Every structure is written in C-alpha cells, then in structure tokens.
A and B are shown apart, each in its own frame.
Chain A
Amino acid sequence: MSFFIAHTVHDALTALSDGARPVAGGSDLVVGARHGKAPLPPHLVAIDRIAELREVHHTDSGVIIGALVTHHDIEMHALLTTSYAGLADGSALVGSPSTRNVGTLGGNVMNASPAMDTGSPLLVLGAEVELQSLRGTRRLGIAELWTGPGRTCAEPDELCVAVHLPAPAPNSNSAYLRLEYRRAMEIAVVGAAAAVTLAADGSISAVRVALTAVAPTIIEVVGLVGGTVADVAAAAAAAASEQATPISDQRASDRYRRHTVGVMAGRAVQAAARRAGGEMIPVPLNRAVGIGAAS
C-alpha cells in the first residue's frame, strides 16, 4: 500500500511506471471502490496538484485542455462555453457543484463510461487525447481511446495529459443534450451531441453526431450529409435510432433508449445550428431547451 502526491508530470509518470494508479478527483475511482465495484488500487498517485495540467491553452490550431481541468472550470470558461459549447453543455450537467469541482476532464475520458457526458461532445468536436509515459508521448483520436465500457487502449504507465480540440470552422458550433428524469444528479438515460457548419444560405454543409449511453462506448453516427437544418435533424434522428445498440436496465428499456436517442440527436442538430448561426443558447443546453427546462 502506498500513496504519493505528484507535483510534476514527471513524478506522476515515474510513479505510474512503478505500478501506481492515478487518482485525480476520485469521483469515479474512490466512489466505485467504496461500492465494491473494484477495490481501491494498492498503490496510488494523486495527480490533482500538477498545476500545469490544470490549464486551458488557446492556440492558433485550437485549444488544449489539461487533463486536470475540472467540469466546473469548463462550465465557467469564456472560450469553451461559446466556441466549444457542446463540451461545456456536457460538463455543466455532471453531478452537483461538488462533483464538478473535483471531477476532471481527464478522469471522465479515462474512466470511459458509455454514459460519460463529455464523450459525445468531444467526439463530434474532433478531439484527440495526448497520452504520456516515460517511454514517450502519443496522440490519438478520442474514439480510438475507448475500447469498451470502462476500458481504454491506454497502457497502465500512460497518463492522459491533455485533450486537444481543433479550432472550429467559421459558422460552426456544437451542442449536447441528455435525457434525464430529474434536473440534477442524473446519469444520462441517453444523450446526443452534434457539431455543424452552416453554409451562406443557412443550410448545414458539414455535420457530426455522436451518441451517449446507447452502445458499449460513445459512438459516432455514420452516413450523415448536409442539407437544410430540418432535413439533417430528421436524418440524424432516424440514423441515431437505427445505429444505436442500447441495453435494457433499471433506468430504461432498449426500445425506449433507441427511440429517445433519435429525439436527442435531432434536437442537438437543431441547437448546434442555432448556435452556429450566432444565437446565444446558454450552457447547459438541457436547462435552456431540454428535458427539465425551467419553464
């Protein structure tokens, strides 16, 4: 049994190569261990004090979000809540203020739950994760990272140091919506994210849609093409319901999930298009237009 607090990435990588597991906010790892989901790893390295991983860098090619940036940081961030609104829609829905205060983007991504709220937004935004170990650094598309529920292709000695998002194209934006039975402290019953680019005539020239909690991992809807907003929304809804492979559990039946994920996908396309057209829909979209909206 050991517990080590890392202050630098190098300290953390050394601990990982010696067999320790990382704990950031602990809101998956510690909560899961207390439930008996998996025992707490005997050797832990706390990474939450590595200051350089707590930063958001805006560059010419996009934005680099450090792995320790919290959901609270994201929901408050001026650039992320506007230009990368779909991601902020997801982070702002996570748990309660305390969950968002401790829960990190890196932890959400590496925990690889098919119900994770930042997953489908990151996928449609074209995110890449940067994994680092004492052996070197690699970057991979986020969809390649997730190999199954709770599983990633990262090696045990690799630390997720950052998530890279490319600069959005002009006249583009994103949105994420989840179906929930109450307005806070929920897990997505299903969810959908969309990123769209508008042409000069207001139609959609490029679209990506990804789905939450309807497959073993976050999945991208394939086969979508541009068109009017209404047509793309309808096509996304139909394709989402068709391509989803949901399970039945205590939260929802597979049929209900298959139907509602289409509804969420259509609405996400419409909201992303409104944002891309310059309309300010505040984060999280759920509170503005979704299930559980105030009015």
Chain B
Amino acid sequence: MSQPETISVVLRVNGFDYPVAIEQGRNLLGVIRTEIGLTGTKEGCDDCECGACMVLLDGQPVNSCSFLAVQAQGRAITTVEGLMPADEMHPLQRNILEEGGVQCGFCTPGMLISASALLSRNPAPTDEDVRIGLSGNLCRCTGYTKIVAAVQRTAAEHRG
C-alpha cells in the first residue's frame, strides 16, 4: 500500500518554527496537538461550534479544527501556551481562575484565546461586547457570568 502523500511545510507557532510533513487535508488542530505536541488547544465538536480549538492566526481568532494546516504556513499561530512566556500567567488566566471562571477547564484555552483577541481589538468592552466576543466558545459548566467578569476585570486592570 502506498503511503499517503505529504506536503512539507513550516508552521510558526508561538514564535518557533516547526517543520512538518503533513497531508493536504490535515487540520491545524491535529498538527498542533500531535506533530508539534502542544496539547493546550482542545478538540471539542470538530465543527467550529464550540471554540475549544481556538487559536490566533496573525492575531485573529480561528477555529483550528477546521482550518487546513497547510494553509497556515507563513502565518503567526498563537496557542494558549503562547499567550505568555513560560511559567508566567497572562492576566486573563489569573483572573479567570480568581473569578471562578474555570470548572472542568476544557473550554478555558479557547475562551482565553477569544478573550485576548477581543481585548486587543476593544480594550473597553461592554458586557454585551464580551458576550459577542465569546459567542463562538461554549462552556457547559460556569454559565458564563464568571468568565465575562474575568474578562472585564482584566480590561479594567489594563486600563489602570
């Protein structure tokens, strides 16, 4: 049996270049988790509905479950691990813990990615803006209120 054909590409994830040989149809999520070994980004629905797989592509949120990995070459990919340098917590991470916005934690990486994209676009969001900004991220535990509070606390801290 012939091996599936692969394409060699370099993916830039969190500032590091990763050369990978992948099939044309591979999703970015799978390559990030399996080839590159960063497992913070989660697979939930595999259908762009739940947002657990959210990463930043050139600073904008993208559902990595349904984005072709080969199409991400040459672009800056940021996963939850890359929000801050190793061992430091992003203010959003600290605040989502302190506000009680994490229960099972499965949605948290995607929430953090969407929230960071929102705050870089809109440093002073209304609660409605936050809910719209997180509308592609499902959480089955918290009821969202504490996640919204964590985003608002981060925005307020940043404004000083």
Contacts and interface: CB of A to CB of B under 8 A. Distances in A.
B67 A35 contact: no
Contacts of B23: 1
B48 A99 contact: yes
A30 B118 contact: no
Given A2-B24, A3-B70, A102-B62, A185 B132 contact: no
A14 interface: no
Secondary structure type dominating chain B contacts:
mixed
B7 interface: yes
Contact of B27 (A34, A42, A96): A34
B48 A95 contact: yes
Interface residues of B, number: 33
Nearest to A184: B135
B133 interface: yes
Nearest to A102: B62
Interface of A: 1-3, 5, 23, 26-27, 30-31, 33-35, 40, 42, 44, 46, 48, 72, 95-99, 101-102, 183-185, 294
Contact of A185 (B49, B62, B73): B49
Interface of B: 5, 7, 23-25, 27, 46-49, 51, 54, 60-63, 65-68, 70-71, 73-74, 114, 117-118, 128, 132-133, 135-137
Nearest to A39: B25
B71 A34 contact: no
Secondary structure type dominating chain A contacts:
mixed
B111 to A, nearest CB: 12
A185 B134 CA distance: 11
Given A30-B68, A34-B47, A42-B24, 16 more contacts: A1-B7, A1-B23, A26-B68, A27-B66, A44-B68, A46-B70, A96-B51, A96-B136, A97-B61, A97-B133, A98-B48, A99-B48, A99-B63, A101-B60, A184-B135, A294-B128
A99 B62 CA distance: 7
A119 B45 CA distance: 28
Contact of A97 (B24, B46, B114): B114
B70 A98 contact: no
A3 B60 CA distance: 23
Given A98-B62, A98-B114, A184-B132, A26 B71 contact: yes
Contact of B67 (A30, A44, A294): A30
A95 B136 contact: yes
Contact of A31 (B47, B73, B128, B137): B47
Nearest to B136: A96
A97 B71 contact: no
B24 A3 contact: yes
A3 B7 contact: yes
A31 B49 CA distance: 11
Given A30-B67, A30-B68, A31-B47, A97 B73 contact: no
B138 to A, nearest CB: 9
A30 B136 contact: no
Contact of B25 (A35, A40, A95): A40
A146 B62 CA distance: 28
A40 to B, nearest CB: 5
Max count, chain A CB within 10 A of own CB: residue among B27, B71, B117: B71
Max count, chain A CB within 10 A of own CB: residue among B25, B61, B65, B118: B25
Nearest to A49: B74
A294 B132 CA distance: 12
B156 to A, nearest CB: 21
Contacts of A72: 60
Contacts of B25: 33, 40
A261 B62 CA distance: 32
Nearest to A30: B66
A3 B24 CA distance: 7
Given A33-B25, A185-B49, A101 B135 contact: no
7 contacts: A1-B24, A3-B24, A3-B71, A31-B48, A98-B54, A101-B60, A101-B61
